[in-house]
Structure 1
């Protein structure tokens, strides 16, 4: 997030696109609702009429995978009606002419044809966005889990720069991360192209810096593999061994049949987790890890805030803190890592070698934590990025983005589009919530379908139906609801039986390799 959660309740204009925030990020949505009660205008753009829509002044029910066309349509209105922030664009951005050339190909009528949102509504939303400043944009996985996910994010950034909503309180581009501490994992270098603090692997200076810091030579100057490439490598034998750390791949990845084949192909598989799950079935070695309340450390939230996590109980049996496990394995390889606690790791290594985290020490985060960048111990942290339009790059770069359809679209054989997500009462594959009594609230998977489709096909609410894609099929009860438009099916991956990932497509974004969980073609059948 460029901005902070504390700004949500003070915002005057909020566009939420591709986010079921009320269920996936209920605490964050509370502050959005507070803003509405305080007089803010909330605009929601989403394929589903979920609960956040109840608080919206305007709702654009866009078709799955049409985000770029919809956003380009908004920007077409802003440019042709001279509603954009010309001073901000002139002083703080580059490549406006390229953006304009592309956006002019998407008049509201064309954007309406692709997105399903009327041309008049596109104009009304664009005018409304331009009338209140600053304005925030929030999004979640409904933007990123597409083959065009990177372009979706760039389009959101284009809109906010065009409106001049960057570098100020209650503005910005604000992705709510999909899981707890995803931000922290990325900050710590759990990506194949950066060291911690987003220092590039291909940068010779960064390579030299970490060789010196770690007392080694020969660090690679090439980016590593992304997860889909690792999984494919298990089959081709490019990858012989895999260590899975805190991830239930056998349920979370698309096309479960294919994923299980990949896991079975591993010569040696290590799984490190807090409970047995569907993935541990494939493991040669299981390393029992401590849960969040059984270890010390830090979490970093979506707003870049580094906060303390404190142990409240001892881990059971042979379960150990993750850092300790990694240290012992390194010792077997002949490396003696000096740091011997979470605090020592942070203060003596993480903070020391990442400029953006340099001022964050355990002694400073005993209370509410600090937001990076925080380069010195005197720095108060940064609540919002790019102050006064001064971007890290120098000037903000507009990207001309063309709309592309999902990799798999509806046809005569598979006439419905399946999109996936999460429900309030369960979390991911229920590794934790399935053991915490939450099944009493939501006990099985369902296929959410529209009232119109249910009536047309003679399907009753609660009736078990078959949902089938080119990769697999499941049998689940139908949940007939007004949340879902005709022609769409919506499901989750909480339960093994009826898991949407028996159906989903492995097609992925070419940059991030994030799979297209939000769009694939299916059909539904009475049984």
Structure 2
């Protein structure tokens, strides 16, 4: 600490602080335009000039460090005159059209001009007027309002890692633009909106459908409803409408958002929202009241249960709903219906992670925190297109790479991270086990393993050695297509670093070998002792906003909340006592098994909340046929989805903006979701709908708030024992489970001194090919995945015009050599067929994909999942969505050129 004086008052401050930070910590405001604590100080705007006794000249407070005995003046006459002159110069090149500017009232330039009484510039305005750039689908840029603070340039470069913007021109004609003035809409911009969030004036502004005055805007802190990062943001509302978002500079996103978080909020007030319960009568939906619909459902389920037994009913809960709502849904199925037939979309994405890591280390969750990723020495990304599926985490990986950290990427596609990787291994689809075994073979043969860690904390090492010994780099190359030298170098880099972290997602999990893939990931981490420490770990990235929470809450057929097995008598008695109900000791049906049972006429009723299996399940035609075969289908959602159209009853739910509760993000952080507006008229919060139904069926529940539901969760779920709404709100940072007691601060990383299961277990796996391999009839491999500009089955993103303009059409990535063999041209429509069905899709010829493989994003109805295989992983019963075989046919026009064949 050093002693300083600011405006003749003495303070103590850390010697590493800048003058600006020292002043701010002591409540002294210094004007800033270009400064951002996340960026390297540039001192370009000069508005923060202060006087330091003895320095002679004024110095920028944002970049100058304090020193012992320093005497600082932030508002004396000399400083004020300098700031006035700076503002005078800025205004000479600035459009003074405040009444027409969206930032009117919240503009920093406007604020400082008022403070220092600058009404207009004393200088002559430049003659050149720049064109306004409206080429981007989400925001516009007006260079005439820009004050050249360059904050947008630096955020794009230093935080987002894209370098889209640069300063062009000279002198008074300097302006910000993409290189070569191509327009933002034609640049590498991914429309994250982070430049907008830091612009101090009205140069960068979102395109809004709803005009508003800033003094009418209410800000409500909440958690983003897209992906598993759990970004913290303010919802901006005017009256009963959401009109915008802004990121918050706290963990986990630290002031960043992606295009969906920044702009795809309009679904909340979309005209197509379901606004009344609907009951299908004679094949036509008829409007109803909640009372009538709930009564009808209760009577129908009671009759089905009485006639066919309690096992004839099942439920799908939702990764888009809050923890409290997921808890109630599984409680409804178990305590009211009387079975464990409850599942959700984790069955399609991370069921194999849960089963795999539970066996090897004792817990199926991400072991470390998001913030630790960029601190790791080596980051190994396998089966995760992170910059598109978890964009904010993707920025952290890129930032780490720019700071000199090592990056290894393994993927069948040349994803964005591959371009920046030290080692990129473009493996064949379905060969993850072979690749990981090959790396372990190198590590063991070269004695790079952590022998002390293995001896003290692991078991079955000899079994791992036995299985991996045949996977020499040369043998592995034959299976994977990855050059042996790359396998060797990747193994040495991962094992030789002090702290290495593994990041994976559905490229690992969505296979018939998914659980064994996860075993292999875990084997590699334990082999090198890269777990149980900060900045290391096994880190599966959850795809939807509350997949982790839905699993934690018992939205799975084999476990109660907190992963307490339903077949364990002690667990069952515990929940029977708490819920005052007789519970089943039989593991229930998985989501895939529900579909099969419905087709076989064994399952009679299905209650679906916030899921769209007609689009998300593999072999969509099979799913649709099965759902039509049900006696009774209930769908609770916010839009008329493809699945809802098949329902007998539809219940209109509320969106995340209309409810209170919690989501648990991918790093186990339980975060608050806060109501910003009242539910759209005619809709109801999911938890309230469930309460109505439970009470109607004679199971009394008296919860008056989601806070009370969380209290019950904490009482029954050890990992959540110390979590309450009040604690989350007071901390403002959420709480990472396990958090067993009220005075516990949460757990940033798992398995510190011991694994959850005691000793970590090596479970070796041998390579097996996918359920379908190429043959003469179906010679090409299809793999599927997500893209940046859409989300899941497009229930929400499909309502956003900007997203639909940018990526509103299904396509197929195909290698140039394969395209040439098929005589295909760029953009040509082709027919793609599997053993399950056919679709028509446009060809996108690219070197990103392997030669005998195509990629189709799964988001689109009637698209990729018409083709995909419903073959299941043996352990977790997760479908093999990442691999099936197809044939591609060029379409020709008939003689009259009217119909393709």
- Runs of at least 5 residues in structure 1 that lack an aligned partner in the other structure: none
Of 228-237 and 19-28, deviating more is 228-237
Q: Secondary structure of the equivalent of 1:360? A: coil
Q: Deviation string for 1:64-118 (max 9, x for gaps)? A: 0000000000000111111110110011000000111001121111111111111
Query: Which residue is equivalent to 1:261?
Result: 625
CA drift at 1:231: 1.2
CA distance in 2, matches of 1:397, 1:410: 35
1:121-520 correspondence runs (5 A):
121-216=486-581, 218-347=582-711, 349-366=712-729, 367-388=732-753, 390-437=754-801, 438-497=803-862, 499-520=863-884
- Tell me, yes or no, if structure 1 residue 105 matches structure 2 residue 105: no
Q: Secondary structure of the equivalent of 2:821? A: helix
Q: TM-score, normalised by structure 1?
A: 0.98
CA distance in 2, matches of 1:57, 1:387: 29
CA distance in 2, matches of 1:394, 1:335: 40
CA drift at 1:455: 2.2
CA distance in 2, matches of 1:7, 1:435: 35
CA distance in 2, matches of 1:130, 1:270: 51
Q: CA RMSD in A?
A: 0.9
- Paired residues in the alignment total 523
Query: Which residue is equivalent to 2:428?
Result: 63
Q: Secondary structure of the equivalent of 2:807? A: coil
CA distance in 2, matches of 1:495, 1:394: 44
CA drift at 1:51: 0.7
- Runs of at least 5 residues in structure 2 that lack an aligned partner in the other structure: 1-365, 892-901
CA drift at 1:487: 0.5
Query: Which residue is equivalent to 1:526?
Result: 890
Q: Secondary structure of the equivalent of 2:465? A: helix
CA distance in 1, matches of 2:722, 2:808: 46
CA distance in 1, matches of 2:598, 2:850: 40
CA distance in 2, matches of 1:214, 1:453: 59
CA distance in 1, matches of 2:797, 2:600: 36
Q: Deviation string for 1:132-184 (max 9, x for gaps)? A: 12100000000000000000001000000001001001111000012110000
CA distance in 2, matches of 1:263, 1:194: 25
Q: Deviation string for 1:244-281 (max 9, x for gaps)? A: 11111111111111111101100000001110010011
CA distance in 1, matches of 2:563, 2:704: 24
CA distance in 2, matches of 1:326, 1:405: 43
Bigger radius of gyration among the two: 2
Q: TM-score, normalised by structure 2?
A: 0.58
Of 331-340 and 371-380, deviating more is 331-340
Of 207-216 and 291-300, deviating more is 207-216
CA distance in 1, matches of 2:821, 2:590: 43
CA distance in 1, matches of 2:777, 2:713: 53
Q: Deviation string for 1:397-429 (max 9, x for gaps)? A: 000211110000111111110000011111122
Q: Deviation string for 1:203-222 (max 9, x for gaps)? A: 11111111111122x21112
